[in-house]
Amino acid sequence: DQQVKQNSPSLSVQEGRISILNCDYTNSMFDYFLWYKKYPAEGPTFLISISSIKDKNEDGRFTVFLNKSAKHLSLHIVPSQPGDSAVYFCAAAEGTGTASKLTFGTGTRLQVTL
Amino acid sequence: DGGITQSPKYLFRKEGQNVTLSCEQNLNHDAMYWYRQDPGQGLRLIYYSQIVNDFQKGDIAEGYSVSREKKESFPLTVTSAQKNPTAFYLCASSRGATGTPPLHFGNGTRLTVT
C-alpha cells in the first residue's frame, strides 16, 4: 500500500514559468515532509522540508505548501530553470526520532524546456 | 569535502553469489541507511543503523545483511536469498535519527544479477 503518492510521473514546464509538483499521503500520523531532487545516476539531494505545524515553507525559488486536512502537499518552483530538470521525490515521516522511517513517493520527472 | 562514498558505481554478479556494497561517510553522522530504488517505485528502506554496533531492519530486509563496526562504514551484503537483487542501491546518513534531520545520500550502486 503506497502511503505517499505522486500521481504525476512526469511534468513539462517552460523556463521562467511555475512548476507545481504534487504529493498526497494517506497516513495521518505523518507530521514531517521533505522534498528531494535527483539527477540521473546520482543520489537524491535534500531540497526543502515542512513540519505539520506549518502550512508553508519557503526557500528561495522553492516553496512547499501543506494542506493537512486534504493530506496533500505541493512543491512550487518559480521561476523554473533548465537546471531544475530532475526527478523530485516527496517523503514523509511520523513523529520525532523517525528519520529512519522516511516513506518516499514514486517521484515526478520534471522537464524544464527552453 | 564531506560526503558519502558508495563503491562501486556498477556491479555485476551471477545469480547465487553474495555481493557486498560499500558505503563510507566522513560527515561524522551517527545514523546510516540503505535504500533500494526500482523503476517506477519510491525508495524503500532495507536496513538502518542509529549507532555503531546496532542496526535495525527496514521494510524490505529479507535477503540482505549489514554490519556497523565503525561509525564511518555501513556495508550491505546482498545474499543469494534475495529474490530480485537487481536494483539501484542508495546509502544515506543523517546526524541522528531523532528530530527527523534530512538524509544525505551517496550516488548509488547499480547492481545487476544475471
pLDDT per position as a tens digit, B13-23: 999 999 999 99
**A43–B94 CB contact, under 8 Å:** no
The pLDDT score that the predictor gives to residue B102 is: 80
pLDDT digits (tens, 9 = 90+) for B50-97: 889 999 999 899 999 999 999 999 999 999 989 999 999 999 998 876
pLDDT band at B98 (very low <50, low <70, confident <90, very high): low
- Whether residue B107 and residue A97 make contact (CB cut-off 8 A), yes or no, is no
The neighbouring-strand residues paired with A51 are: A32
Q: Is 60 exceeded by the pLDDT of residue B27?
A: yes
| B101–A4 CB contact, under 8 Å | no
Q: Which residues contact B47 (CB under 8 A, 6 or more apart)?
A: B33, B34, B55, B56, B57, B58, B61, B64, B66, B76
Of A75-84, B9-18, B39-48, B62-71, which range is least confident?
Answer: B39-48
Q: Would you tell me how many other CB atoms lie within 10 Å of the CB of residue B105?
A: 23
**A43 contacts chain B (CB < 8 A):** yes
More confident residue, B71 or B102: B71
Q: What is the pLDDT of residues A14-72, one digit of tens each?
A: 999 999 999 999 999 898 999 999 998 889 999 999 999 999 999 999 999 999 999 99
- Quick one: pLDDT at residue B40? 80
B52 touches B68 (CB < 8 A): yes
CB-count burial class (<10 Å; 0-12, 13-18, 19+) for B14:
exposed
> Cβ separation of B102 and A49 shorter than 8 Å?
yes
Residues of B in contact with A4 (CB under 8 A): 42
Q: Which residues of B touch A33 (CB under 8 A)?
A: none
Are the Cβ atoms of B41 and A106 closer than 8 angstroms? yes
Q: Count Cβ–Cβ pairs < 8 Å, chain A vs chain B.
A: 73
**From CA B44, how far away is CA B58, in angstroms rounded?**
8
Which SS3 state, helix, strand or coil, does residue B79 take? Answer: coil
Q: Is the pLDDT of residue B100 over 80?
A: no
Per-residue pLDDT at A97 exceeds 70? no
